[in-house]
Structure 1
Amino acid sequence: MKHLLFLYLGVVSSFASDTRPLKERVNEFCQKHRSIAEIEKRHAEWIKQEPDNPDAYILPANALAKAAETVNIVAGDQKDAIAVLTDPKTGKQVGSIAEGPDPAIIKRAEDILKAATKKFPQRLDIHVGRMAMSQRIKDTEAVTTAALDLLATAAKDPQTLRWIDNEQIDGVPLKKALEEVEARIRWLYSFEKDETDKFAQDCALKALELAPGNVELLNFAAIRHLYRGEWKEGREYLLRAEIAAPRDWIVQHNIARASAELGDKADALKRLQAVIKAVPGTDDAKAAEASIKSLGLDVPK
């Protein structure tokens, strides 16, 4: 990922004196300050000169993200190698080439954005940039912390949330904030490990404090329980989701699975048959039919 993160990062509460588009400002800063030392020096000077100028944080963080990109050529294999080196005489592999961000530099960029979220907490775009920065190096704990910090900010006064260059957010600010957190929850669950599943569930539970009837969040809260075979606990969240969206077939399918595992096969069958009747011939209906068979549910003749 070589492109800069200006799509995620923005400027905050007081306006920057430079009114050019953010992309242009970022590119100019990167041209002027190429080395890590130059970027750090300018950042330190800038926050002293203009402590209320968000660009003093945003632009150096983007520049560090660019400077973090590395190309590694080593003997043997590398994870995520983009090319291999072969001996022209033997045809055997003798090395590999991989590229990616230097974790230490990305962590420093994330630290700068973390400081920016403390100074300009209403800037949703900086919170998003901070999460995205940590995602680049698969720092799941840092992403979780950043998501929880965003939710804590949103809980205070979601209407004050703003986007790049202090612009108002289209639509409902809280909805936008929750969508960003939901994207990180989905990412955390993608690792399919209990530790990251817990991180995902923690974020979902905190987000539910702001949106108790959010179906996707309720499903996210249930997923870890279902993965762990905690069917009763998971089903409780799914039943709440059913109240909010009775025709959400994924929710109905998951409730049916939990019911079957808890011994209530009649409820499971009833729900799966309802899906088949409501949307015949669809993928949801086919999945319900497959579940009836796999769960050993008796279909009355």
Structure 2
Amino acid sequence: MKIIFTILFLALCNLSMSQNFQQEFGEAFRANDTLEQLKILNSWEKSSPKNPELFTSFYNYYFRLAKKEVVSLTKQQPDGESFALRDSLNQTAGYMGSKIYYDANNLRNAFLKIDKGITLHPNRLDMRFGKIYALGTVENWEEFTNEIINTVNYSKTNSNKWLWTNNEEKQDGKGFMLSSIQSYQLQLYNTEDDALLSNMQRIASSILAIYPDNIESMSNLSITYFLTKQYDKGIEILLKAEKTNPKDYIVLANIAHGYNLIGNKAKAIEYYEKTILHGNDDTKAFAREKIQLLKK
């Protein structure tokens, strides 16, 4: 009994120390005191080298440290915020603007820490999403895509029993993971870089391999086919989505659009009519307008 009590006491002490380190680091991080942050992290690592919050804290430390801002003078207006410089004739002589870049060494250290954390704590979805966020920020789209696919594949292994900060169990792990990945798909789409359509296809295909009824991924896949003028493939995948949910008006409207693209007016009208039947007010108005144009 005494031995059990001693073990329990030591476990409680370790938990308390970990929470103190976490709180102290949070205070130093908010104060942007990098010297104090590193001091706390090093002490924390000696005390509890496998603590999951240690890895997320190290990751945040290095990722923030990696972010650099330089102010430069240019003749052309730079992207983002800038200030126009004018000459004595009040003509624009140049621009002063800031540019954000990420130091490669600190960025590498951030990824090394979070990768180790993911290896030791593979169910921590916040670690995986934190890494994906950083990869998107630095526009490393290949690794961004690979990490999303790794997460999708692991969801089959852990049956979506995901954990978050402080090992809090994530409710509706599957829904949360898939909705978050949908936002990452939108991030790829919003780059307007056609070269990244294949990345969207890979992500959507990896999801459908495990979750074949995921309508969002079917829609994403269809969009990439339409944009690459593979209209028949786009329509085919959307028809599968319709079977999954015949009342999904977004799917129905996209099917109508696909048929319109290949010049099949009759089928386009048919699906715009289905859209009117199941859509919201805005979508109904859009579908009616499309039908009028097709009947001219």
Q: TM-score, normalised by structure 1?
A: 0.80
Distance 2:15 2:144 in 1: 27
Q: AA paired with 1:192?
A: E
Q: AA paired with 2:235?
A: R
Please tell me whether the aligned partners of residues 78 and 98 of structure 1 are also in contact (alpha carbons under 8 angstroms).
no
Distance 1:144 1:188 in 2: 9
Q: Supply the RMSD in Å over aligned alpha carbons.
A: 3.1
3-state SS, counterpart of residue 210 of structure 2: coil
Residues 1-301 of structure 1: pairs in structure 2 closer than 5 A: 17-19=17-19, 25-28=25-28, 34=34, 39=38, 50-76=48-74, 77=76, 79-84=78-83, 86-87=85-86, 89-91=88-90, 92-102=92-102, 104=104, 105-170=106-171, 172-279=172-279, 282-293=281-292, 297-298=294-295
Cα deviation for residue 231 of structure 1 reads: 1.4
Distance 1:238 1:21 in 2: 51
Q: Deviation per CA, 1:105-144: give whole Å up to 9, x if none.
A: 4454234323322221110011111111112222222211
Percent identity, aligned pairs only?
21
Distance 1:185 1:191 in 2: 10
Q: AA paired with 1:158?
A: S
Change (3 A) 1:28 1:250: same
Worse-matched range after superposition: 107-116 or 252-261: 107-116
Cα deviation for residue 169 of structure 1 reads: 0.8
Change (3 A) 1:256 1:181: same
Cα deviation for residue 204 of structure 1 reads: 1.1
3-state SS, counterpart of residue 96 of structure 2: strand
Distance 1:21 1:286 in 2: 57
Cα deviation for residue 95 of structure 1 reads: 3.7
Q: Unaligned regions of 5+ residues in structure 1, if any? A: 1-13
User: Which structure is higher in RCO with an 8 Å CA cutoff and minimum separation 6?
Assistant: 1
Change (3 A) 1:283 1:159: closer
Please tell me whether the aligned partners of residues 276 and 289 of structure 1 are also in contact (alpha carbons under 8 angstroms).
yes
Change (3 A) 1:179 1:207: same
Change (3 A) 1:268 1:81: closer
Q: AA paired with 1:100?
A: I
Cα deviation for residue 26 of structure 1 reads: 3.1
Cα deviation for residue 195 of structure 1 reads: 2.0
The residue aligned with 2:11 is none
Cα deviation for residue 81 of structure 1 reads: 3.8
Q: Deviation per CA, 1:4-28: give whole Å up to 9, x if none.
A: xxxxxxxxxx978422596763342
Rg (Cα) greater in structure = 2
Residues paired across the two proteins, number: 279
Distance 1:89 1:109 in 2: 48
Please tell me whether the aligned partners of residues 72 and 96 of structure 2 are also in contact (alpha carbons under 8 angstroms).
yes
Distance 1:63 1:201 in 2: 34
Q: Deviation per CA, 1:186-206: give whole Å up to 9, x if none.
A: 111111222211111211111
Please tell me whether the aligned partners of residues 69 and 101 of structure 1 are also in contact (alpha carbons under 8 angstroms).
yes
Distance 1:214 1:257 in 2: 20
Cα deviation for residue 165 of structure 1 reads: 0.5
Q: AA paired with 2:115?
A: K
Distance 1:121 1:136 in 2: 23
